[in-house]
């Protein structure tokens, strides 16, 4: 028309929240998505449901997130950050007492912690949500970091620390996950099993 000043908003804005109001909106969207994921799993996580539970409109969701997976990105990042905090804490404890027993004890305690905080969310993120390549890489990187730290801590105690570290870390992770997070009928209590796991791993590093 004659109106030459028509403002063309870019097709897909995806703004960064500037004002307090919008920052709250972003948070409320993330919380909503996290709860849906935790309570009802990936299958129930659709953008309309996220908006509804957050008490905002779908449009707002797409104002701050280019697509659904970008929401997962943030949720995953925050979850991994918690895990990394536990790792860093563990690393500092080990540097004070670098015995093989301590490594095992910290590892098991750390993974119990990771799997106890929000088990449902952890389950959703680790075996329900289909992670894309980049997301899987981030998860793998955390795992690699734990293995490397463990390997370094073991290097003065055992031969072939890389192999031992891989086994220790994967065993602690996989078994605490299965007993604390998966809802399989475990015939023995998770606590007993965690202790037993620690015994087994200790025996393994001390003997080998």
Q: Which of 11, 95, 185, 187 binds DNA (CB under 7 A)?
A: 11
Are the beta carbons of 26 and 54 closer than 8 angstroms? no
Using the structure block, give the residue that is written with the tokens 């790792």. Answer: 87
Residues 6 or more apart from 206 whose CB is under 8 A from it?
Answer: 100, 101
Distance in Å, CB of 17 to DNA, minimum: 5
Task: Tell me how far, at minimum, the Cβ of 118 lies from DNA, in Å.
Answer: 22
H or E, element range at 89: helix 68-96
Interface with a second copy includes 147 (CB under 8 A)? yes
CB of 27 to DNA, least distance (A): 10
Identify the residue among 77, 144, 156, 191 touching a second copy (CB under 8 A).
144
Query: What phi and psi values does residue 99 have, to the nearest 5 degrees?
Result: -90, 155
Residues 140, 125: Cα–Cα separation, whole Å = 13
Residue 22 contacts DNA per CB under 7 A: yes
Q: Does residue 140 interact with a second copy by CB under 8 A?
A: yes
Candidates 56, 86, 121, 181; binder of DNA (CB under 7 A) is 56
* Strand ranges in 55-162 using DSSP code E only, listed in sequence order: none
Of the candidate spans 60-68, 89-97, 123-131, 198-206, the one that interacts with DNA by CB under 7 A turns out to be: 60-68
Residues found in the chain:
208
Residues of this chain that interact with DNA (CB under 7 A) are: 7, 11-13, 15, 17-22, 24-25, 43, 45-48, 55-63, 67-68
């Amino acid at each position: 028309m004659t109106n030459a000043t028509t403002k063309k908003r870019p097709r897909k804005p995806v703004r960064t929240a500037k004002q307090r109001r919008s920052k709250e909106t972003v948070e409320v969207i993330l919380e909503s998505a996290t709860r849906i994921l935790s309570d009802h799993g990936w299958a129930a996580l659709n953008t309309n449901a996220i908006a509804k539970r957050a008490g905002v409109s779908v449009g707002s969701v797409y104002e701050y997130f280019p697509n659904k997976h970008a929401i997962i990105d943030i949720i995953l990042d925050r979850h991994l950050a918690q895990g990394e905090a536990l790792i860093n804490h563990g690393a500092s404890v080990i540097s004070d007492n670098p015995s093989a027993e301590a490594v095992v004890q910290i590892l098991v305690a750390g993974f119990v912690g990771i799997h106890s905080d929000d088990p449902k969310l952890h389950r959703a993120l680790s075996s329900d949500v289909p992670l894309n390549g980049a997301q899987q890489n981030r998860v793998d990187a955390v795992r690699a970091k734990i293995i490397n730290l463990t390997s370094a801590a073991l290097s003065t105690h055992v031969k072939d620390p890389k192999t031992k570290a891989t086994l220790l870390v994967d065993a602690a992770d996989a078994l605490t996950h299965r007993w604390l997070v998966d809802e399989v009928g475990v015939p023995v209590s998770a606590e007993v099993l965690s202790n037993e796991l620690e015994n087994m791993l200790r025996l393994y590093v001390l003997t080998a």
